[in-house]
Amino acid sequence: MDVRQLEFFLAVAEEGNFTRAAKRSYVSQPGLSSSIRTLERELRVRLFDRVPAGASLTPAGTVFLTRARRMLADAHAAQAELAQVPGTGTSRAVRIGAEQCLGNLVDLADLLSIFAERNPGTELAFEQAPTNRLLEGIHTNAIDVALVAQSPPDDNADTLRAGGGVVLRCEPFVFLTSNNHPLGRESEVSWEVLASERFVDLASSWAAREVLDEAFTTRHGCNRISAVSVGDVYMLLDLVGRGFGIAAVPESVAEKSEAAGLRRLQVAGPPFEWEVLLRVAGRASAAARAFAAMLLPQTAISNSRDALTGRA
């Protein structure tokens, strides 16, 4: 969840219409709709009833409205305060890095655009790189803010992780096949059966690949077949659609339009997942910390979800 999702939610609630809310928010209507769907999926409730004439809040949406306004006000206040903090670096450049396969967890293009609009004197640089390289950049202060990913630790109880990362989201992986793959007709498949299939993988340097390999070898004791490794998630989805093999991706990637024609497999046992964390360099500038304040931690999502599911 990020502040733009909250802004989009409030715009739709106040305008009562997705098109008008998109114009007000300076974003495309499909982009706004996708962001709202992501927010609803994270909160596990429907926030709006969509009708031809517009949109109206559901009971859960009405409950969330007050909380969203408060969360957004707190985030904006934090950004304003951080921008005035002395001694956190004088550079107005903000260097941001992110893992691949974050799906629609964070719309970085939108966040970068709106941050640049609100901070015209700030120079932005963005890099997509594997988690290990991003963490090295954080350690050496070559990167100010990074979105990294890893398998959840065994205890999985604390939002703060070793090294100071803040969990933005815990997200399950899903297995995808082409529309005519034989496994697509099965009601449920085992990890042993999956291990015998050809896989379309991301390169071994990416965290999504590391999480997948760990799930097979460490948790289920299976060796699998990696038929091909690619460096781009869109190529991966295309190859799966052409029947080259099956793949495992974070749930939000499976929600992309490019995956619309693929089948999801029901796998026996509990799902495996990864966690996406926010890391901020120790010498990051005030501007960089203000950008980081646009991202809301898993605790905010969990607290909101508990309040909604308990009252909706």
Full-model pTM: 0.82
Give the pLDDT mean for 223-238: 94
Tens digit of each residue's pLDDT (9 = 90 or more) over 257-291: 899 999 999 999 888 899 999 999 988 988 899 99
CATH number among 3.40.190.290, 3.90.550.10, 2.60.40.10, 3.40.190.10, domain 169-274: 3.40.190.290
Give the pLDDT mean for 111-135: 92
Q: What's the chain's average pLDDT?
A: 88
Does pLDDT of 85 surpass 70?
no
Rg from Cα positions in the chain: 20
Q: Percent of the chain beyond pLDDT 90?
A: 61
- In which residue ranges of the chain is CATH 3.40.190.290 found? 169-274
- In which residue ranges of the chain is CATH 1.10.10.10 found? 3-84+306-311
pLDDT at residue 264, as a whole number: 94
Give the pLDDT mean for 102-123: 87
Tens digit of each residue's pLDDT (9 = 90 or more) over 24-70: 998 999 889 989 988 998 898 999 998 887 899 999 999 999 999 99
The owner of tokens 């670096």 is 89
The answer to whether residues 179 and 262 touch, using CB atoms and an 8 Å cutoff, is yes
The answer to whether residues 267 and 259 touch, using CB atoms and an 8 Å cutoff, is no
Does pLDDT of 98 surpass 90?
yes
Three state DSSP letters for the chain:
CEHHHHHHHHHHHHHCCHHHHHHHHCCCHHHHHHHHHHHHHHHCCCCEEEECCEEEECHHHHHHHHHHHHHHHHHHHHHHHHHCCCCCCCCCEEEEEECCCCCCCCCHHHHHHHHHHHCCCCEEEEEECCHHHHHHHHHCCCCCEEEEEECCCCCCCCCECCCCCEEEEEEEEEEEECCCCHHHHCCCECHHHHHCCEEEEECCCCHHHHHHHHHHHHHCCCCCEEEEEECCHHHHHHHHHCCCCEEEEEHHHHCCHHHCCCEEECECCCCCEEEEEEEECCCCCHHHHHHHCCECCHHHHHHHHHHHHHHC
Name, in order, each residue with C-beta under 8 angstroms of 281's C-beta and a sequence gap of 6 or more: 137, 138, 139, 141, 143, 144, 145, 288
> For residue 120, how far is the Cα from the chain centroid?
26
CATH number among 2.60.40.10, 1.10.10.10, 3.50.50.60, 3.40.190.10, domain 93-161+282-294: 3.40.190.10
pLDDT at residue 312, as a whole number: 53
Tens digit of each residue's pLDDT (9 = 90 or more) over 156-204: 444 445 456 899 988 999 999 999 999 988 889 999 999 999 999 999 9
pLDDT at residue 55, as a whole number: 93
pLDDT at residue 94, as a whole number: 93
Q: Round to whole Å and give the CA distance between 262 and 58.
A: 31
pLDDT band at 103 (very low <50, low <70, confident <90, very high): confident
Q: Round to whole Å and give the CA distance between 166 and 280.
A: 9
pLDDT at residue 87, as a whole number: 53
pLDDT at residue 158, as a whole number: 45
The answer to whether residues 285 and 90 touch, using CB atoms and an 8 Å cutoff, is yes
Tens digit of each residue's pLDDT (9 = 90 or more) over 14-29: 999 999 999 999 899 9
pLDDT at residue 104, as a whole number: 74
State the fold for domain 3-84+306-311: Arc Repressor Mutant, subunit A (1.10.10)
pLDDT at residue 300, as a whole number: 85
pLDDT at residue 297, as a whole number: 85
- In which residue ranges of the chain is CATH 3.40.190.10 found? 93-161+282-294
